[in-house]
Amino acid sequence: MPYYRSVGEVPRKRHTQFRQPDGTLYAEELVGQEGFSSDSSLLYHRHAPTAILAAEEFAPPAVTRVPNLPLKPRHLRTHKLDGAGADPVLGRQYLLANDDVRIAYVLADRPSPLFRDATGDHCLYLESGSLRVESPFGVLDAVAGDYVVIPTSTIHRLVPTGDEPTRLLAVEASGHIGPPKRYLSVRGQFLEHSPYCERDVRGPDTPLLVDGEEVEVLVKHRRGWTRYVYANHPFDVVGWDGHMYPWAFSIHDFEPITGRIHQPPPVHQTFQGPNFVICSFVPRKVDYHPAAIPVPYNHHNVDSDEMLFYTGGNYEARRGSGIEQGSISLHPSGFTHGPQPGAAERSIGADFFDELAVMVDTFRPLDLCDAATACEDDGYAWTWARKP
């Protein structure tokens, strides 16, 4: 995360004696990226974070991936995956994946187990409902429209809150997710041309202290999954400081960049990950050149697949294609895509678009997972051939 936070009690100097009321030392834990060469945070535990009592291999729900063959645009209706509800980690239904990123959807109505992903960061987007993110860093509350970024190897628990189940889009990276580098100074401050800044970002602000012994934690790692039994609950941190922690940002705080003629998708970029980007399409004033065509032109992104999750409003370029709340469109590299027939003409003269969508562009092809096949609209690919 691009700025420093300090929460709870920490000593004045790092790596010096910091004692508990009974005189014993707090246990330091340095959590850092890229060895000791990038962002990190220093946590102070009541108990040793290394103390485990058992470890056994764990079999997670199976996920099958198949290539997007025949190559064609796809439309996935995530709300057709609704069932009795699930927990927001093990209940994820995987839709699209490659070796850089996995995209899943879940309707969650119960807490997850304690979980750590040692393979990469997670970016969660709340379509609806609310969620409490618990971790050794404290509590982070999220509501509809929030992105939540959970750093690699953070033990956490996701707890749906409120009366309604939480709808969640999960983007799991094989690496780290953060703001686009072009929005940051050499020292990590958001620059003036950034569409959001430090004031828009939320992080935990008080410690979360949970007493407990012999606690299970599921860990996803580079060789599979392991179920550990920790001697003490990992949420025993009295204070921490640093630049690495779970953080939240609302899509409603993203300030759109507009122009006289149509602006390309990079102006909507919100995050970057390893070989992918995440963009936010929000309600905005549209192109104001007197001859402007506000909807996108036909385009062929020769290096990337484009996934768009429709999460509110009315997406003008897709009207007439069956797109609805919770829809996901996949437009793969190798296929020219663009607005639906008649959309360009209809958009002329518009001065405002009321749309809300999350886009993930990947630079390696996305495979289809089981849940994508289960909720696909088979007629979508042929909608460009229909007369408006």
Is 348 a member of any domain? yes
The whole-number pLDDT of residue 171 equals: 98
- The number of helices, as runs of H, and strands, as runs of E, in the chain is 2, 28
Is the domain of 110 the same as that of 223? yes
**Cβ atoms < 10 Å from Cβ of 324:** 14
Q: What's the rounded Cα separation, in Å, for the pair 272 and 255?
A: 17
Give the global pTM.
Answer: 0.95
Is the domain of 176 the same as that of 216? yes
Is the domain of 239 the same as that of 93? yes
The whole-number pLDDT of residue 340 equals: 86
Is the domain of 118 the same as that of 246? yes
Is the domain of 56 the same as that of 106? yes
134-151 pLDDT, tens digit each = 999 999 999 999 999 999
Catalytic residue among 262, 268, 289, 331: 262
Examine the fold and report which residue of 200, 226, 250 is the final residue of a domain before the chain moves on: 250
**CB of 2 closer than 8 Å to CB of 198:** yes
17-35 pLDDT, tens digit each = 999 999 999 999 999 999 8
Mean pLDDT by 10 residues, the chain (388 residues): 91 98 98 92 97 97 94 96 86 97 96 98 97 98 98 98 93 97 94 96 96 96 97 98 97 94 92 98 92 88 92 74 91 90 87 93 97 95 80
Is 75 a member of any domain? no
Examine the fold and report which residue of 250, 272, 296 is the final residue of a domain before the chain moves on: 250
Partnered with residue 164 across adjacent β-strands are none
Q: Which of the 8 DSSP states describes residue 44?
A: E
Q: What's the rounded Cα separation, in Å, for the pair 271 and 258?
A: 19
Maximum distance among all Cα pairs of the chain, rounded to whole angstroms: 78
The whole-number pLDDT of residue 319 equals: 67
Is the domain of 147 the same as that of 289? no
Q: Helices in the chain by DSSP H: which ranges?
A: 343-347, 370-374
337 labelled binding-site residue: yes
Range of the domain at 48: 5-66+82-250
Is the domain of 268 the same as that of 206? no
Q: What's the rounded Cα separation, in Å, for the pair 151 and 245?
A: 6
Q: What's the rounded Cα separation, in Å, for the pair 240 and 260?
A: 47
Is 77 a member of any domain? no
The whole-number pLDDT of residue 55 equals: 98
Is the domain of 328 the same as that of 195? no
The whole-number pLDDT of residue 337 equals: 86
Is the domain of 150 the same as that of 27? yes
DSSP 139-176: EEEEETTEEEEE-TT--BEEEEESSSPEEEEEEEESS-
Is the domain of 354 the same as that of 327? yes
CATH number of the domain to which 189 belongs = 2.60.120.10
Is 76 a member of any domain? no
The whole-number pLDDT of residue 316 equals: 63
The whole-number pLDDT of residue 4 equals: 95
How many residues appear in the chain? 388
Q: Is 15 a catalytic residue?
A: no
**CB of 96 closer than 8 Å to CB of 371:** no
Is 364 a member of any domain? yes
Examine the fold and report which residue of 250, 266, 283 is the final residue of a domain before the chain moves on: 250
Is the domain of 214 the same as that of 200? yes
The whole-number pLDDT of residue 47 equals: 97
User: How many domains are contained in the chain?
Assistant: 2
Is the domain of 291 the same as that of 217? no
305 labelled binding-site residue: yes
